[in-house]
A and B are shown apart, each in its own frame.
Chain A
Amino acid sequence: MKTRKRLLGWLADAALILYFVFALFPIAWMVILSLKPTNELFSTYFSFSPTLDGYRTVLGDSEGIPFVRFFVNSLVVSVGAVVLSLVVGLPAAYASARWRFKGSENLMFTLLSFRFAPELTVIIPLFVLYQKLGLFDTYVGMIWVLQLVTLPLIVWIMRSYFADLTPELEQAALLDGYTRKQAFFKVALPLVKPGIAAVSLLAFIFAWNNFVFPLILTSNEAQTVTVGALSFLGGDRPKYNLTAAAALVSVVPPLLLALTIQRYLVRGLSFGAVKS
């Protein structure tokens, strides 16, 4: 019995290790690739002399590709999209959780449908519109179009957070002499803070990773890392090491963000599951 149990344990461990190797292999490969000097990229014999030249090139704006600017663009556009979605989406989520009004369910469903309609279906009309309106290749344009990604996410998730709060808390605030607006800001909003943290992170990652919108709707000024990293593949010889370095650098912000709000994240994801 005992040996069998131990054997099963080992098997499980082995399976897990196998899965880790499988899951982490692409990342390991990227790391190795990013550390290769350019002249070893296409060598057919084994040679690996690690160098940080790839990172230096990427971050040093040589090769004529302003990667640092792409990086800043990504930050501005993603943060801007999340902030705008929070400003618009939190009141919307609250209203839809608390009140049924005519067409409220249709409105919510329409919002959700932005998420499951492929971006490619709207990209061409959007491209034309953006050209005409002067939104093409601008921050405002990108932040606006990313609302398709971040707003439904924030509204729908926050709606369930607000629905989990008993309305009697805000009712108590109303009877304490606060207005409805104050009840929202002083009672409801602080109680869904963990949810806001979790959903902001998710929305940020989705916005950061978005590829299609910046691909079509930006050219240079507002281009983001996802598209920018590909620039290194152009030219006479694709520089995979630079693309790998750029991709790895672009992973840093979401990763840092996730680590800093991890505390909220666990609480946020389990919020509402247990009633006090």
Chain B
Amino acid sequence: MIRLQGIRKAFGRTTALDGLELDVREGEFFCLLGPSGAGKTTTLKTVAGLEQPDSGTVELDGRDMAGVEPYDRGVAMCFESYALYPHRSAYDNLASPLRSPRHRLPAAEARDRVGAIAELLGIRALLDRPVGQLSNGQRQRVALGRVLVRPARAFLLDEPLSHLDAKLRQQMRAELKAIGAVQHTTTLYVTHDSVEALALGDRIGVIRDGRIVQTGTREEIWYRPCDTEVARAFGRPRINLLPGAVAADGCFRSADGKVELPIGAAASPGTEVLIGVRPRDLALGEGPGHELTGTVYVTEVLGRSVEVTVRLGEQHVSLVAPRADTAGLRPDDPVRLTVRPENLLLFEADRPERPGRRIGQ
């Protein structure tokens, strides 16, 4: 269990963490998602005791960690830079925790353990090589192995798959959660890749400017994003956000008046809003829900499905439809779109100082 409360940390004049609150439950796989510079790595290092917060408390398993040295915290961390010992072989890097005073194992046991982990990560054949001779992807796996090889109160993983090639990354992503050690160890996983976060996280925390803006399961984050930025962060193609205002009758009306949608949420007339709908929640043709009409702008084949960009007045929206529904669509063809009311998200309009918050339940 990891609990961070009111963590502040500044490096000189730049604020890295600004009152960060984080609660990772026992045994949970928690993904911390955010752009670079949001404070993800600083958060991990604060948990590990490598950075001292200016204020706030770090708790591990209910114990306050103030003044506890990193080696006494019992956490393992995988660095984004790998931080492998360049003067040693891959084997010695993996075995390093098992030779330390705190996690020492008898040599034979350590050898078995390192072998098992190397097998798991597909680096068995590389063990004798100095790490300088390994590719980035191989080094990253050694770095991950050095974490998994030992028991820990928590695993802290800083973008551990970022340097793998696409195919291997997908494979490792699938395997990572199946690894026994990961299953029963609290894991705080940092990434800037929303697909990774959705695939791996039991819960996801979205971090921005040194603060957690939303925490929740993948469903909560996906269906009830707290603001437009979180909504934009998940899903490709991106969520459609149409600007407009709440009309006197309580409906949403776009600025040019071409799009009109009833809204369930309570918003006073005249409020500037954005209405959001994900590309996969828009359907072509007749169906249940609200109807919109527009013209085809461009179509793009994604494989089994097709991304269609539709012009609605002055706005463009994209939708993803099965190939069969899009047969024969040409630019400028008129089309009908339907959207179920429960798939509509309503946000305040974006402001320069912060993205628009979601309105309603």
Q: Interface of A with B (CB < 8 Å)?
A: 166, 168-169, 171-180, 182, 187, 190-191, 276
Contact = CB atoms under 8 A, between A and B. Distances in A.
Contacts of A179: 69, 71, 101
Contacts, number: 65
Given A169-B85, A191-B86, A175 B77 contact: yes
Contacts of B77: 171-172, 175
B71 A178 contact: yes
B83 A169 contact: yes
Contacts of B100: 176-178, 182
Contacts of A176: 71, 76, 96-97, 100, 103, 146, 150
A75 B313 CA distance: 90
B81 A168 contact: yes
B265 interface: no
A155 B99 CA distance: 31
A276 B101 contact: no
Nearest to B45: A171
A166 B86 CA distance: 11
A148 to B, nearest CB: 33
Interface residues of B, number: 26
Contacts of A190: 87
A276 B83 CA distance: 12
B301 interface: no
A175 B85 contact: no
24 contacts: A168-B83, A169-B86, A171-B45, A171-B50, A171-B70, A171-B83, A172-B84, A172-B146, A173-B85, A173-B96, A174-B50, A174-B69, A175-B50, A175-B71, A175-B77, A176-B103, A177-B71, A177-B100, A177-B103, A177-B150, A178-B100, A179-B69, A179-B71, A180-B69
Contacts of B79: 168, 171-172
Given A168-B79, A171-B70, A172-B79, A177 B86 contact: no
B132 interface: yes
Nearest first, the 4 closest Cβ-Cβ pairs linking A and B are: A177-B100, A177-B102, A172-B83, A168-B83
A191 B84 CA distance: 12
B284 interface: no
Nearest to A175: B77
A105 to B, nearest CB: 16
Nearest to B143: A172
Contacts of A174: 49-50, 69-71
